[in-house]
Amino acid sequence: MSESDPSGAPAADTAIAPAAGSTDAGEFAIRVRDLCNAFGTHVVHENLDLDVRRGEILGVVGGSGTGKSVLMRAIIGLQIPESGSIEVLGQSITEARVDADISIRSRWGVLFQGGALFSTLSVGENVEVPLREFYPDIGDDLLSEIARYKVLLTGLSDEAGAKFPSELSGGMRKRAGLARALALDPELLFLDEPTAGLDPIGAAAFDQLILGLQHTLGLTVFLITHDLDTLHEICDRVAVIADKRVIAVGTIPELLALDHPWIQEYFSGPRGRAAMAAHVADHGMADTAVSAERA
Amino acid sequence: MTQVPDFTLIPGETGDTLVFTGAMLVSTLGPLDRRLRTITTPIAHIDLAGITGIDTVGAWICCRISQETGATIVHADDAATRLIEALRQVDADSPMQAPSRLPVWLRVPDKVGEAVIGMAFGSVAVLSFVGQMILAAGGLLLHPARFRYRALVHQMELVGVNSLAIIGLMSFLVGIVIAQQGAEQLRQFGAEIYTVNLVGRISMRELGILMTAIMVAGRSGSAFAAEIGTMKLTEEVDAMRTIGVAPMEVLVLPRVMATVLMMPLLGVYAAVVAIIGGAFLSQFALGIPFFSFLLRIREVVPIHDVWVAVVKGPVFGLIVALAGCYQGMQVRDNSEEVGKRTTAAVVLAIFTVIVLDAFFAVFFTEINWG
């Protein structure tokens, strides 16, 4: 364990009162500087900067093919960038030469778009995999208990825990993937389109689940989504990727105040207006104003 | 450094008080949990005043003990309370159902039974697969415009042209080995010249086509199974069906036809290269000149040996391609299945080819093509 490893409790506290005034490096869970990503001659990112504060839910939006997933893959060390630096929880990802250098892996959890569950293992066993890998001294009893409560926490039933991924629906697979991502009690959670392909009720429940987990566990969440309801409902801030970089980060009201055509179209298009109206109807204008103030 | 968590039991009137200290985190709790499970005395309170940190695993352990013994949790800070509350909804009594896996003594008869039933249904399924393929081929005869020439040519390239180098090398070496070993034995009664007969006939009739079939099964049969199997997993095959494209026409027929067409060509090619290998060795090791060897081949290898190879080729090709495509189409559920089915395709193809080769040997001798 690195010395900068904080215990769970302080991290949980930051979740309750995010965005306090301090600006020291410890405030940020992820710092990306001058990131350039390219596939051959196709440049995806150019001088991209992004900061994710500890304890916040950051939504990442952008048109299809703007490199949202590539950014996530770069941050978690799956995509080697052309240049630039990435720091996660105080550890440099870009300077790590071999996979083993990234000891930080036990402190983050990743939910891939399709769930990416190991297809030959049951859901429960999928959750046990990271636990076995990092903490071999955990006994079998405790291991299966942990797997079970993680599965139940994500809203799956006991029966689902014994099933194989091929026997699950798309939504259940996402929940199972989330259970595996949460297996190690990570401080940082990466979610790639968690609500895509879910029915509206399921998607809303998933939003609440993430919000609830974030409050209880004090997570920092890096959330790629196209779901406007999710953005309004649970994101503290939203980062917009366009023109190969992050063009703006802020609360939705702040983003709307910017006069960028893509942002305007994204949030003020028919779907954006509907999501906004629903959010205002649910929480009243006050809440929107508060979230603007908080940032 | 994180503090190693520990606990002490303080006896009280209504029961013991379990006092935790240190960081109760997933990274540190493994050994502690084992010791906690050995506690048998009743516990009335769980004291969390001395802990320096807690995560869901720590909270779960408190929660579990509290549920099992009815103990109350005291002196928990905000974070701990919140975590424990979130976990209270989880019932500690019922353990998670493991996927039903049989004990070892039942697993053996289970596997045997599964294999027998699998074989019975498998043969029916193979027949129905062949039937579907014949129907698809018949449909193409009626509508030749639907035929995928491009796919056929592409597969012929993959199966045939791309394997020329490896099959050539293999056959050349096999030819050398036969000539060398054969000459060694024949020399004992001064019949070294019969090395030509040995190499020529065995290459043309048996080894050329048999080795080619084995190589194609390993190269292309496995590729068919893995390709089609992966497409099944990613629902590409289903997608084709819904668009109205028959997988039989697009995936199976071009592969089967390409292999049927290429196998006799590859087989004869392999035989010829093996003979050249034999001639090459004879030149250097036996003193039979290279071209004398080749001329002698024309005299000792009857033309029906070539027909034997040409008849066996398409049959072996059909078996190899069918095994690959059939096993590929049977893939479902998970990635392990792709591996299993690919193995099955190669094993089935090679086994069937060798069995059939034995039948062919007897058959051709019976019709005086010996």
CATH code of the domain containing B80? 3.30.750.24
Q: Which two tokens stand for residue B157?
A: 């390239």
Question: Which amino acid is present at B349?
Answer: A
B52 and B115 part of one domain: no
Asked, for residue B131, whether it belongs to a domain, the answer is: yes
Distance from C-alpha of A37 to C-alpha of A62, rounded to nearest angstrom: 16
Q: Does B97 contact chain A (CB < 8 Å)?
A: yes
Residue A150 contacts residue A183 (beta carbons within 8 Å): yes
Determine contact: B6 vs chain A, CB below 8 A.
no
Chain A CB contacts of B234 under 8 Å are none
For residue B56, give the amino acid letter: T
Long-range interactions of B353-361: CB distance < 8 A, separation 24+: B353/B210, B353/B213, B353/B214, B353/B217, B353/B316, B353/B319, B353/B320, B354/B210, B356/B312, B356/B315, B356/B316, B356/B319, B357/B206, B357/B210, B357/B312, B357/B316, B360/B308, B360/B311, B360/B312, B361/B206
Q: What is the mean pLDDT of chain B?
A: 88
The pLDDT of residue B95 is 59
pLDDT given at position A21:
38
Q: Is residue B102 part of a domain?
A: no
Among chain A residues, CA nearest to B60: A146
Write the ipTM: 0.70
Contact call for residues A239 and A61 (beta carbons, < 8 A): yes
Tens of pLDDT, residues B268-295: 999 999 999 999 999 988 888 999 999 9
Q: Is the Cβ pair B26, A217 closer than 8 Å?
A: no
- Same domain for B125 and B138? yes
Q: Containing H/E element for A282? A: helix A270-294
CB pair distance less than 8 Å for A134 and B27: yes
Taking an 8 Å cut-off on Cβ atoms, the answer to whether A165 and B334 are in contact is yes
Beta bridge partners of B8: B19
Residues 76-95 of B with CB under 8 A from A: 77-80, 82-83, 86-87, 89-90, 92, 94-95
Q: Are residues B246 and B117 in the same domain?
A: no
**What pLDDT was estimated at residue A18?**
34
Parallel, antiparallel, or unpaired: how do β-strands A91-92 and A245-250 relate?
unpaired
Residue ranges of chain A with per-residue pLDDT less than 70: 1-26, 96-102, 283-295
Per-residue pLDDT tens digits for B117-170: 988 888 899 999 999 999 999 988 898 888 888 899 999 999 999 999 999 999
What is the C-alpha to C-alpha distance for residues A234 and A103, in angstroms, rounded to an integer?
Answer: 29
For residue B100, tell me if it sits in a domain: no
Contact B122, B326 (CB under 8 A): no
B23 shares a domain with B171: no
In the numeric block, the tokens 């401080």 are attached to A187
Rounded to the nearest 10 degrees, the angle between the axes of helix B208-216 and helix B303-329 is 20
Structure tokens at B307: 């027909």
The distance of A279 to chain B (nearest Cα, Å) reads 26
Q: Check whether residue B60 and residue B50 sit in a common domain.
A: yes
A113 touching chain B per CB within 8 A: no
Residue B61: list chain A partners with CB under 8 A: 142
Number of H helices, E strands in chain B: 15, 4
The pair of structure tokens assigned to A209 is 């689940």
Q: How far is residue B4 from each of residues A115, B25, B28, measured CA to CA in Å? A: 34, 9, 6
Task: Pick the range with the lowest mean pLDDT from A228-242, B94-108, B193-207, B262-276.
Answer: B94-108
Residues in chain B within 8 Å Cβ distance of A217? 55-56, 83
On whether both B178 and B299 belong to a single domain, the answer is yes
What residues in B contact A150, CB-CB < 8 Å?
56
Model pLDDT, residue B198: 93
**Mean pLDDT across B228-236:** 90
Contact call for A138 and B30, based on CB within 8 A: yes
SS3 A278: helix
Give the pLDDT confidence of B4-55 residue by residue, as tens digits: 888 888 887 777 888 888 888 888 888 888 888 888 788 888 888 888 888 8
> Domain for residue B358, yes or no?
yes
Is B101 among the domain residues? no
Task: Tell me the residue range of the domain where B142 lies.
Answer: 108-147
Residue B229 to chain A, least CA–CA distance (Å):
14
Q: Which of A106, A153, A216 to mutate to test the interface with B (most CBs of B within 10 A)?
A: A216
Buried b (16+ CB within 10 A) or exposed e, A134-160: bbeebeeebbbbbbbbbbbbbbbebeb
The DSSP string of B231-254 is HHHTTHHHHHHHHT--HIIIIIHH
Whose structure tokens read 């080795």?
Answer: B211
Residues B78 and B204 in one domain: no
Query: Does any domain span residue B180?
Result: yes
Residue B140 shares a structural domain with residue B249: no
Tokens representing A89 are 């929880």
Phi and psi angles of residue A225, each rounded to the nearest 5 degrees, phi first: -155, 160
- List pLDDT tens digits, range B291-314: 999 999 989 999 999 999 999 999
* Residue of chain A with shortest Cα separation from B29: A138
Is A137's CB within 8 Å of B30's CB?
A: yes
Q: Are residue B115 and residue B176 in the same domain, yes or no? A: no
- Say if residues B229 and B312 touch (Cβ distance below 8 Å): no
| Beta carbons of A168 and A159 less than 8 angstroms apart | no
Q: Is residue B1 included in any domain, yes or no?
A: no
Cβ <8 Å between A138 and B90: no
Report the DSSP beta bridge partners of residue A109. Answer: A189
Q: Cβ of B121: how many Cβ atoms within 10 Å?
A: 10
- Is residue B35 exposed (0-12), middle (13-18) or buried (19+ Cβ within 10 Å)? exposed
As a whole number of Å, the end-to-end CA separation of chain A is 33
Nearest to B98 among A9, A162, A185 (CB): A162
B164 plus B117 within the same structural domain? no
Spatial separation of the C-alpha atoms in residues A122 and A167, rounded to whole Å: 10
Burial class (CB in 10 A: 0-12, 13-18, 19+), B79: buried
- DSSP label at residue B96: P
Residue B9 main-chain phi, psi, to 5 deg: -105, 120
Number of neighbouring beta carbons within 10 Å of residue A225: 23
Among the listed residues A179, A183, A185, the one whose alpha carbon sits nearest the alpha carbon of residue A6: A185
Find, among A153, A152, A201, A194, the residue nearest to A173 by Cα: A194
Same domain? B194 vs B297: yes
Task: Tell me whether A64 touches chain B (CB under 8 Å).
Answer: no
Average pLDDT over residues B248-262: 93
Residue at B103 is within a domain: no
pTM greater than 0.90 (yes/no):
no
Q: Which residues 123-162 of chain A have a CB within 8 Å of chain B?
A: 124-125, 131, 134-139, 141-142, 144-153, 158-159, 161-162
What total of structural domains would you count in chain B? 3
The pLDDT, as a whole number, for residue A169 is 83
Same domain, B181 and B318: yes
Contact B39, B71 (CB under 8 A): no
Residues of A in contact with B57 (CB under 8 A): 142, 146, 185
